[in-house]
C-alpha cells in the first residue's frame, strides 16, 4: 500500500512523511477514524514508507518496488506483525490468536482495507460471535517484541481495533508503550478510540483520519475505479465520506446505483411543489418500479441532498465545491427549505425509508410522502 493508493488525506500524509524525513518517528501512534475510513490503509502506507529500502531524503512515498515494499504490499514481511480481534471458529476451534488467521487477514485486507469488524468476523466464519484480543495474544506479543527485527529497519506491530483488547492484553500493551523496545513501532488503528484506556491514549501520538470530502471520494472513484462521474458523485454522497461503504456498494451494486437519483429527486420535488395529485400518482408508479433496495437508496440520497439545500440556504460557504449540475437546483430549492420546515421534511423522508424497509406498499408510501412534502414546501 502506497500513500498514492489512498484518496485524499493530503495533510495527514504530509505529516507522516515529515516525521520519517526528520527522524521523528513516534514509537507508538494511534490512527483513529470511523469504521470505513482510511485509518488502516494509512497505517499500512506509513509502514511501507518507513521500511522502504529505496527511500531517498526527498521521497514523498514508498517506492513500491524494493523487496521490503513488495513484501509489505503482500503482507508477508517478517517484520510486519498484526494483532487482531479473533475468536474460535470451525477452522480454529480453540486458542484463537491473530497468527492463526494470518492467511485470512491477508486476503481480507488485500481485497479491501476499508472494511470493519463485522466484515472481518464474517470473513473468518465467526458467525455471530464477538471477536477480541485475548490475554494469550499479549504473551505472544511480548515474545514477539523481544526478538530483533529480521531484515527491516523497524519492527512493526499493527494492532487493529485495540478497543477490543482484553484488560490483560491492554495492560501488556501499556507496559510496552511505557518501556518501548528498541526500533519497534506500534501502529494502533482504532474505530472507537473513546473506548481505549486513557493511559494508552496518553502514550500514543494521534493521527486523526477524517471522513473524505464528497469531492475527494468522487474523484477517486472516477479516476481510480473508472466509475462515470454522475454515478461516482452519487455513490460518494450516499457513502458520506466512508470509503468502505462506497467500495462495498460499488461491488455489490447489482444495478442498484444505475439510476440517476439526482434527476429523479429534482423531478419529484417539482411534482410535489406543483401539488397536482395526478402527477404525484404517476411519480409514485415510477418509484414502485425501482424496487425496494433502490427505493431505500433513493430516499437516503434525497436526505443527503436535502441537507445540502438547507446548508446552502443558511450560508453557501457551508457547502463549497458543489458540482455544476447540482448548483442550480440547490440554489433555487433553498428558498423552499428553511429551518422552519427542514426538520419535518427530513422526518418525512426518514419515515418513508422506514416504511419501505418494513415492506409497506411502496406506491402508498410515496403517495403519502408526496402529499406531506407538498404541504411542507408551502411552509418554508
Ligand atoms: Zn521501497
Cα gap 269→264, rounded to integer Å: 9
Give the Å distance between the CA of 22 and the centre of ligand 1.
18
**Residue 49 included in any domain:** yes
**Do 201 and 325 have their domain in common?**
no
Q: What are phi and psi of 8, to 5 degrees?
A: 60, -150
Which residue range(s) make up the domain with 315?
259-377
Q: Is 14 in the same domain as 144?
A: yes
The domain tally of the chain equals: 2
Is 200 found in the same domain as 273?
no
Strand (E) positions, the chain? 28-32, 80-83, 155-160, 184-190, 205-208
3-state secondary structure of 228: coil
186 and 296 part of one domain:
no
Residue 24 lies in a domain: yes
What integer pLDDT is reported at residue 320 of this predicted model? 79
pLDDT of residue 257: 55
Residues 152, 274 within the same domain: no
- Kindly give the distance from the C-alpha atom of residue 73 to the centroid of ligand 1, in angstroms, as a whole number: 10
Task: Confirm whether 293 is domain-assigned.
Answer: yes
In a domain, 187, yes or no: yes
Enumerate the H helices of 83-228 as residue ranges.
Answer: 102-111, 117-123, 135-146, 167-178, 198-201, 214-223
What spacing in Å lies between the alpha carbon of 154 and ligand 1's midpoint?
14
* Contact between 353 and 345 (Cβ < 8 Å): no
For residue 19, how far is its CA from the centre of ligand 1 (angstroms)? 17
Alpha-carbon distances of 235 from 97, 185, 247, 259, rounded to whole Å: 37, 36, 9, 11
Between the CA of residue 10 and those of 104, 106, 187, 221, 356, what are the distances in Å?
A: 31, 26, 19, 17, 40
How far, in Å, is the centroid of ligand 1 from the Cα of 149?
A: 17
| pLDDT for residue 253 | 54
Question: Are residues 263 and 333 located together in one domain of the fold?
Answer: yes
In the block, cell 498484526 appears at: 82
- Which of 166, 185, 208 is the last residue before a domain boundary? 208
Same domain? For 276 and 188 the reply is no
Same domain flag for 39 and 163: yes
The CATH number covering residue 24 comes to: 3.40.50.300
Rounded to an integer, what distance in angstroms lies between the CA atom of residue 250 and that of residue 239? Answer: 11
pTM over 0.85: no
Judgement on whether residues 297 and 178 belong to the same structural domain of the protein:
no
Instruction: Examine residue 239 and state whether it is found in any structural domain, yes or no.
Output: no
Question: d(Cα 267, Cα 261) in Å, to the nearest integer?
Answer: 10
CA of 245 to the centre of ligand 1 (A): 30
Cβ pair 194, 34 in contact under 8 A: no
In CATH, what number is assigned to the domain containing residue 295? 1.20.272.10
Provide the terminal-to-terminal Cα distance of the chain, rounded to the nearest Å. Answer: 50
- How much distance in Å is there from the Cα of 63 to the middle of ligand 1? 4
Task: State whether 105 and 36 are in the same domain.
Answer: yes
Residue 170: inside a domain = yes
Domain check: are 31 and 157 in the same one?
yes
Whether residue 226 lies inside any domain: the answer is: no
Q: How far is the CA of 363 from the centre of ligand 1 (A)?
A: 57
For the chain, 380 residues long, give each residue's pLDDT as a single digit of tens.
999 999 999 999 999 999 999 999 999 999 999 999 999 999 999 999 999 999 998 999 999 999 999 999 999 999 999 999 999 998 888 889 999 999 999 999 998 999 999 899 999 999 778 899 998 898 888 888 888 878 888 899 999 999 999 999 999 999 999 988 888 999 999 999 999 999 999 999 999 999 888 889 999 999 988 888 888 888 898 888 889 888 887 776 544 457 888 999 999 999 999 999 999 999 999 998 888 888 998 999 999 999 999 999 999 888 877 888 888 999 999 999 998 999 999 999 999 999 999 989 999 999 999 999 999 999 88
Please give the distance, rounded to the nearest whole angstrom, from the Cα atom of residue 56 to the centre of ligand 1: 10
- How far away, in angstroms, is 146 Cα from ligand 1 center? 26
Amino acid at each position: 500500500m502506497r500513500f498514492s493508493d489512498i484518496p485524499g488525506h493530503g495533510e495527514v500524509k504530509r505529516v507522516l512523511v515529515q516525521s520519517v524525513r526528520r527522524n521523528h518517528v513516534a514509537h507508538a501512534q494511534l490512527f483513529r477514524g470511523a469504521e470505513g475510513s482510511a485509518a488502516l490503509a494509512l497505517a499500512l502506507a506509513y509502514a511501507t514508507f518507513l521500511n522502504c529500502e529505496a527511500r531517498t531524503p526527498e521521497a514523498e512515498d514508498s517506492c513500491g518496488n524494493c523487496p521490503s515494499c513488495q513484501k509489505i504490499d503482500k503482507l508477508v514481511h517478517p517484520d510486519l506483525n498484526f494483532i487482531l480481534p479473533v475468536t474460535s471458529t470451525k477452522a480454529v476451534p480453540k486458542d484463537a490468536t491473530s497468527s492463526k488467521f494470518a492467511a485470512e487477514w491477508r486476503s481480507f485486507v488485500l481485497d479491501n482495507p476499508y472494511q470493519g469488524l463485522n466484515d472481518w468476523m464474517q470473513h473468518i466464519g465467526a458467525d455471530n460471535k464477538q471477536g477480541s484480543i485475548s490475554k494469550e495474544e499479549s504473551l505472544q506479543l511480548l515474545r514477539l517484541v523481544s526478538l530483533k527485527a529480521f531484515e527491516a529497519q523497524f519492527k512493526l506491530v499493527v494492532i487493529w481495533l485495540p478497543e477490543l483488547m482484553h484488560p490483560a492484553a491492554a495492560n501488556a500493551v501499556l507496559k510496552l508503550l511505557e518501556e518501548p523496545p528498541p526500533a519497534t513501532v506500534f501502529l494502533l488503528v482504532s474505530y472507537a478510540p473513546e473506548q481505549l484506556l486513557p493511559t494508552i491514549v496518553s502514550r500514543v501520538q494521534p493521527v486523526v483520519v477524517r471522513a473524505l470530502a464528497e469531492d475527494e471520494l468522487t474523484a477517486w472513484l472516477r479516476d481510480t475505479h473508472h466509475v462515470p462521474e454522475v454515478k461516482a458523485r452519487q455513490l460518494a454522497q450516499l457513502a458520506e465520506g466512508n470509503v468502505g461503504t462506497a467500495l462495498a456498494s460499488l461491488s455489490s451494486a447489482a444495478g442498484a446505483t444505475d439510476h440517476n437519483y439526482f434527476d429523479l429527486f429534482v423531478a419529484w420535488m417539482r411534482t410535489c411543489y406543483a401539488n397536482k395529485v395526478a402527477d404525484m400518482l404517476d411519480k409514485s408508479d415510477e418509484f414502485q418500479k425501482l424496487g425496494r433496495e433502490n427505493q431505500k437508496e433513493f430516499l437516503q440520497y434525497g436526505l443527503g441532498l436535502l441537507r445540502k439545500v438547507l446548508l446552502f440556504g443558511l450560508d453557501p460557504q457551508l457547502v463549497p465545491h458543489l458540482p455544476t449540475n447540482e448548483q442550480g437546483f440547490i440554489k433555487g430549492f433553498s428558498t423552499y427549505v428553511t429551518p422552519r420546515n427542514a426538520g419535518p421534511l427530513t422526518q418525512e423522508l426518514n419515515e418513508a425509508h422506514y416504511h419501505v424497509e418494513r415492506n409497506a406498499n411502496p406506491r402508498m408510501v410515496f403517495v403519502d410522502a408526496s402529499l406531506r412534502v407538498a404541504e411542507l414546501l408551502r411552509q418554508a
